Amino acid sequence: MSRLIVVSNRVSLPRDTGGGSVGGLAAALGAALREHHGVWFGWSGETTPQYTGQIAMERIGDVTLARVDLEPVDVDEYYNGYANKTLWPLFHDRIDLTAYERSFDAGYARVNARFAEALAALIGPDDLIWVHDYHLAPLARELRALGVKNRIGFFLHIPWPARQLLVTLPGHRKLVEALFHYDVVGFQTQDNLSAFTGYLSKEIGVGTPDDHGMVAAFGRRTRLGAFPIGIKADDFSDGALSQGGQESFARMQESMAGRRMIVGVDRLDYSKGLEERFLAYEQFLATQEAQREKVFMLEIATLSRDAVEAYQDLRGRLDAIAGRVNGAYGTMDWVPLRYVNTGYRQDELAGIYRAAAVGLVTPLRDGMNLVAKEYVASQDPEDPGVLILSRFAGAAAQMGSALIVNPYDRDEVSGAIQRALTMGYAERRRRWEKLMDNVVTEDIVAWRESFVDALKGEVRTPAARLANDAA
């Protein structure tokens, strides 16, 4: 039986591979790796004065973890630089924050070449290789240059940008050409897939993919498809009822003091629309006087990428808005906006989600956004809350029964908050049931199996949508 080799920028910690206390991606990949007696390869998160290519191997049950250390200059140019100052903002429509520096491009190419050289020594003749995300787009090209002929797949977790934005990237053609060294290239949504095929049509002159999603370009043929990622719903529905979840729920209920809670849970990132969300909530308080002291918003925004200036600036702006809102509307026993940067365990989050009357998920641009699905899965079926979801989250294509909003429109988001808080039970229940059906059906197992089946060259499963479906 062939092994599955998963490659990502970072390798999950050993305690994460079982998936019980972490997010769904680590759980899904861990399950696939155990099934295939696989290998998980990537950066250790640690630095070394001089790159050696030495791989630290660790066996956890049926899974082998393989990690390499990077030099500080690699982290600066490849990770903080090209990945997070160039590709991340560009792929999230923030061309104003996109930095184009030659050293970043060189570092990105260097690390991908180093990863390929280290990884090639681990690859057996029948192994399947599944590469994840924008950090490693050129990896298959580097592996092919070393003589690796195995089937290699690539999945992009973030959005693919519109052609008009992508062409601003120096070397955009080189980046796209690199993807044609993969046998399968997967995107989160049909819109992302269409953006990619639109680029191929306008910039490369490539025709429509065939009925199996196959498209020829740059002298190679690649299968394209949309594979919407999901969650393991039971992790949150059961998690909300676990001891940790119930303790978290009870703690929130006590702190609510009879008020209703709106919750947002995000990584602190400008793509998540946090600033716009705070301003929309401020407008809600200004226009809905009857709701004051009856409701509050809890925003959990865990810190990330503190070395990137744009994130430092965002944190400062959020601190300022939260202070202004609480100063203008707070009372001696009511804090209208609770804003924290602390992370919580999965079971604790499930309890928090369950206690919230409204889930506010309003990214400006997102590949999928699993918080929307986590919120739905955590709800009490007998008294479910209401999901407000940005139309620019990939999840909106699957979760039309949420209140879909334009996160840039403060009036619309403010109005949706009011509608959610006043929605009748029958409508709340009906919307939640439809949302939950999707969360359960198109879950993370369906996503994983559909992609691995495609990588094996097998017939597609319903969870995957191939390029011709967009035609």
Q: What domains can be seen in the chain, in order of their start residue?
A: 4-230+444-470 (3.40.50.2000), 233-441 (3.40.50.2000)
Distance (Å, whole) CA 307 – CA 13: 22
Q: What is the pLDDT of residue 346?
A: 92
Q: Where are the alpha helices (DSSP H) in 265-383?
A: 274-287, 309-329, 346-355, 371-378
Q: What is the pLDDT of residue 2?
A: 80
Between the CA atoms of 28, 29, 35 and 39, what dihedral angle is there, to the nearest 10 degrees? -170
Distance (Å, whole) CA 23 – CA 236: 10
Q: What is the pLDDT of residue 469?
A: 52
Q: What is the pLDDT of residue 310?
A: 85
The H or E element that residue 436 is part of is helix 425-441
Q: What is the pLDDT along the chain (471 residues), one digit of tens a residue?
A: 689 999 999 986 544 433 333 445 676 677 778 887 899 999 999 999 999 999 999 998 888 999 999 999 999 999 999 999 999 999 999 999 999 999 999 999 999 999 999 999 999 999 999 999 999 999 999 999 999 999 999 999 999 999 999 999 999 999 999 999 999 999 999 999 999 999 999 999 998 889 889 999 999 999 999 999 999 999 999 999 999 999 999 999 999 999 999 999 999 999 999 999 999 999 999 999 999 999 999 999 998 877 778 888 999 999 999 999 999 999 999 999 999 999 999 999 999 999 999 999 999 999 999 999 999 999 999 999 999 999 999 999 999 999 999 999 999 999 999 999 999 999 999 999 999 999 999 999 999 999 999 999 975 544 566 665 544
Q: What is the pLDDT of residue 467?
A: 62
Q: Which residue has the tokens 């591979």?
A: 17
Q: What is the pLDDT of residue 461?
A: 47
466, two tokens: 């191939």
Distance (Å, whole) CA 228 – CA 213: 16
Distance (Å, whole) CA 216 – CA 212: 12
For residue 339, which of 297, 370, 389, 395 has the smallest C-alpha distance? 297
Distance (Å, whole) CA 139 – CA 145: 10
466 CB-near residues (< 8 Å, 6+ apart)? 209, 211, 212, 213, 223, 224, 225, 226, 460
User: Residue 258 — left, alpha, or beta (φ > 0 → left; ψ -120 to 50 → alpha)?
Assistant: left
> Would you say 239 and 245 are in contact if contact means Cβ atoms under 8 Å apart?
yes
Q: What is the pLDDT of residue 25?
A: 64
> Would you say 117 and 144 are in contact if contact means Cβ atoms under 8 Å apart?
no
Q: What is the pLDDT of residue 466?
A: 64
Question: Catalytic residues, which ones?
Answer: 157, 366
Q: What is the pLDDT of residue 211?
A: 87
176, two tokens: 């796209």
250 CB-near residues (< 8 Å, 6+ apart)? 351
